[in-house]
Structure 1
Amino acid sequence: MPLELTVEQRDLESSLRSSLARTAAGDNVWSSLLEMGLTEVPFPENYGGAGFTLKDTAVVMAELGRSLGAGPYFSSVILAGFTLLHAGSNAAKTQHLPTIADGSVTAALVTGYPFASTSITASGGDDNTIVLDGAQEAVVAGADADLLVVVAEGPSGPELAVIGGDAAGVVRTVRESLDFTRPLARIEFTGASAQRVGGNDLVAGLDKAQAIAITALAAEQVGAARACLEMSVDYAKTRKQFGRAIGSFQSIKHRLTDMLVAIELAEAAVLDAADADSRSSGELFVAAATARVLASRAATFAAEESVQIHGGIGFTWEHPLHRYFRRAKTSELLFGNTAVHLEAVASAVI
């Protein structure tokens, strides 16, 4: 695919950037996304969506990363929504995706990594229901979601279920997170009756949803890294030492250049991985994992270098850099760390 954005995608990027610049609190960000119809972007029109591409979704995620936009877009639309879209039954998609797409219902995905690996067990029930037991840590935005999309281990393999966040047998506990703009929760099920919603090829669907999720997360990481670079360039132009702007010093130039190279490489990998529809499952997996590795490295490197370039002010609570550092370190560990994805790529290509 072309490793660049179309005119329409540039327009989307510009309008979303302007909107996010005017909002600060999480509720305002979510409201802005709803007003712009961006929660509908990833889903087919027959499920209440706009029928856009994964590349369009990557544009949205990059801008959310750039602004550290809070709210349930990643948890509800990307994680839960794409899992239902690719691994859910037709009936489940018809029932749940329109409300996720219009934002009237927020959802969270309860699973481990890989998506088909989970500590939740499924038993009993019938063709339409299933009983859930067990607990899962680090569920993104799980404490406030209206709907929980759950991957569970059944007697014959993975099961997919949905259950209300406040249903009987569900206990949700907020966990303290390094990144306070992305809340995490522990979800525990004790004999909780849920709706069975798995599609015919559940494992393949979970694998595709997983690849799309880590691609979207990588796009967000690239956006955050680019914001760090922009802040550092602006600071280097105005901060003076020894009568000169610090950006004129070779050591600062090298740091900024290294940041740019890492970001450009990661962005190219994300755009390549976003070409989901034309990929075989194996190719998509390798492309997504590669993008994730490069984006994690770029985001962490950019945040760390930016703190150093800013000097003392970069360590203060009042400056936004610490929030980018928190997001970079937290995102690096979500759904498999860099070492996990490197090993996966190596196993696939060697």
Structure 2
Amino acid sequence: MQFELSDEQRELAEFIRELLSSKSDSASVRATIAHDAPFDAELWSVLCDQIGAASLAIPEEYGGAGYSTFETHIVLEELGYALTPSPYFGSVALAAQAVLASGNAEACARLLPSVADGSRIAALAWADPTGRWSPADVGVSAQETDGVWRLSGETPLVIDGIAADLVLVIAATPRGPALFELTDTGALTKESTPALDPALSFATYRFDASAATLLACEADTPFLDRLRDLALTALTAIQVGAAARGLDMTVAYSLQRAQFGRLIGSYQALKHRMADLHVRLETARTTSRAAAWAAANDSAELGQLASLAKTWCSDSLTAIASETIQLHGGIAITWEHDAHLVFKRAHATAQLFGSPGEQRARVAQSLGLDRTSA
């Protein structure tokens, strides 16, 4: 496995970070949140038109740049560091990969070019009514009548669902779960869902006999397990970026804040705590990139690595966010301080696509170590 970035990948990361430092600083992020906008349209245009970030993991024959999900992972790390409200995760890392995982060449050729150039925002409706993402359990059913598929039901927690104009849906059919493209948007009701992390955008979708096109059936082309692994892996990149942001701001503060006539960063006890956080961050980055490498190289280890990465990155970001609050003192509890955003990002993302406890159980089951399999 290769964890160090190549020169080209390092240049991509540096370019994205430089762009976000000027276009998505704290004031810009807060302005977007304050206006209830799901993302900054101008910044999205720059990311897609000038950098081609949305096209990185889409093959050239479908209008993309022909790189891999590892390059997408790098972009997500930087977006996570900046805490940028962006449809990149929902549209590029999740919905576009759902189309690719379906193996439907016609759908890929028809749908992916507009996602690759950023002109369309895609969303994947998948979570069951309880808010969990399970390959088998979904809250939408599909029935075929006279050759037309129609969807009925409700899906909560659709990531970037409000801004989406391309809607993909995981629905139950008589032959099992399948991926659909919604063709009758008039029969879709969208409702914005308040999120713990105000920089993340969610929606609840309600379908009322909504016409749709079948793209792939799990019974014919198994794709849901890989899709979940890709989602878990992409999410860990965002978590690693946010963890790095929390640690950086904590170290910087320790070199500015004086107590009892000394900078607090000079106290040995605080040095040890920040050193522990650094270890947390670097091990989280390693596990995240290990899963990203497995995803980009179609490794058989992807399932275990994705769950392990989600577990460790969730726990690490939670620990770093908590220490960020503690080591900044009372100012970090206020809404005006960015430590507040890191803390909310930690607790929100820990639950997405399964909590650390659920991921540990999944790994144990895959290894035959869970008690129920005995």
TM-score band by shorter chain is over 0.9
The residue identity in structure 2 corresponding to 1:336 is G
SS at match of 1:130: strand
Task: Report what 2:3 is aligned to.
Answer: 3
C-alpha distance in 1 between matches for 2:251 and 2:285? 19
SS at match of 1:179: coil
C-alpha distance in 2 between matches for 1:219 and 1:197? 28
Tell me which moved more, 113-122 or 199-208: 199-208
Tell me which moved more, 114-123 or 283-292: 114-123
Deviation for aligned residue 1:235:
0.3
Q: Does residue 324 of structure 1 match 2:342?
A: yes
SS at match of 2:204: strand
Picking from 242, 246, 253, the partner of 2:260 is 242
C-alpha distance in 1 between matches for 2:262 and 2:123? 50
Deviation for aligned residue 1:230:
0.4
Picking from 333, 340, 364, the partner of 1:315 is 333
Task: Report what 1:304 is aligned to.
Answer: 322
Question: Is the 1:89–1:199 contact (alpha carbons within 8 Å) kept by the matching residues of 2?
Answer: no
C-alpha distance 300-191 of structure 1, shift in aligned 2 (>3 A): same
Picking from 50, 53, 56, the partner of 1:41 is 56
1:205-237 Cα offsets, whole Å, 9 max, x none, are 222122111101101100110010000000001
Task: Report what 2:210 is aligned to.
Answer: 192
Task: Report what 1:57 is aligned to.
Answer: 72
C-alpha distance in 2 between matches for 1:196 and 1:125? 13
Deviation for aligned residue 1:199:
5.9
Task: Report what 1:91 is aligned to.
Answer: 106
Where in structure 2 are there 5+ consecutive unaligned residues?
33-38, 128-132, 370-374
Task: Report what 1:134 is aligned to.
Answer: 153
C-alpha distance in 1 between matches for 2:18 and 2:220? 39
Deviation for aligned residue 1:325:
1.1
Task: Report what 2:44 is aligned to.
Answer: 30
C-alpha distance in 1 between matches for 2:137 and 2:16? 35
C-alpha distance in 2 between matches for 1:133 and 1:187? 10
Task: Report what 1:181 is aligned to.
Answer: 199
SS at match of 2:172: strand
C-alpha distance 273-65 of structure 1, shift in aligned 2 (>3 A): same
Deviation for aligned residue 1:263:
1.0
The residue identity in structure 2 corresponding to 1:30 is W
C-alpha distance 212-96 of structure 1, shift in aligned 2 (>3 A): same
The residue identity in structure 2 corresponding to 1:64 is L
Deviation for aligned residue 1:88:
4.7
Deviation for aligned residue 1:115:
3.8
C-alpha distance in 1 between matches for 2:139 and 2:58? 29
C-alpha distance in 1 between matches for 2:298 and 2:275? 33
Deviation for aligned residue 1:278:
3.5
Picking from 335, 342, 345, the partner of 2:353 is 335
1:274-322 Cα offsets, whole Å, 9 max, x none, are 12243444x1100111111111111111111101100011111111111
The residue identity in structure 2 corresponding to 1:293 is T
Kindly tell me the number of residue pairs found equivalent between the two proteins: 347
Question: Is the 1:293–1:342 contact (alpha carbons within 8 Å) kept by the matching residues of 2?
Answer: yes
C-alpha distance in 1 between matches for 2:347 and 2:59? 33
- Among all aligned residue pairs of Structure 1 and Structure 2, give the percentage whose two residues are the same amino acid: 37
1:112-167 Cα offsets, whole Å, 9 max, x none, are 2124431111112466x411011011111112210111000101101111115x71
Task: Report what 1:124 is aligned to.
Answer: 144
C-alpha distance in 2 between matches for 1:208 and 1:220? 19
Question: Is the 2:136–2:177 contact (alpha carbons within 8 Å) kept by the matching residues of 1?
Answer: yes
Superposed, 1:217-236 pairs within 5 Å as 217-236=235-254
C-alpha distance in 2 between matches for 1:199 and 1:137? 22
Task: Report what 2:134 is aligned to.
Answer: 114
Task: Report what 2:36 is aligned to.
Answer: none
Deviation for aligned residue 1:257:
1.3
SS at match of 2:167: strand
SS at match of 2:222: helix
C-alpha distance in 1 between matches for 2:145 and 2:352? 32
SS at match of 1:64: helix
SS at match of 1:42: coil
Deviation for aligned residue 1:58:
1.0
The residue identity in structure 2 corresponding to 1:120 is V
Q: CA RMSD in A?
A: 1.6
C-alpha distance in 1 between matches for 2:218 and 2:154? 26
C-alpha distance in 2 between matches for 1:143 and 1:272? 32
Tell me which moved more, 185-194 or 116-125: 116-125
C-alpha distance in 2 between matches for 1:292 and 1:286? 10
Tell me which moved more, 26-35 or 197-206: 197-206
1:56-113 Cα offsets, whole Å, 9 max, x none, are 1111110000001112111111111101111251111111011111111101110021
Question: Is the 1:87–1:209 contact (alpha carbons within 8 Å) kept by the matching residues of 2?
Answer: no
SS at match of 2:216: coil
C-alpha distance 200-310 of structure 1, shift in aligned 2 (>3 A): closer
Where in structure 1 are there 5+ consecutive unaligned residues?
none
Question: Is the 1:29–1:69 contact (alpha carbons within 8 Å) kept by the matching residues of 2?
Answer: no
C-alpha distance in 2 between matches for 1:254 and 1:300? 18
C-alpha distance 57-277 of structure 1, shift in aligned 2 (>3 A): closer
C-alpha distance in 1 between matches for 2:146 and 2:181? 14
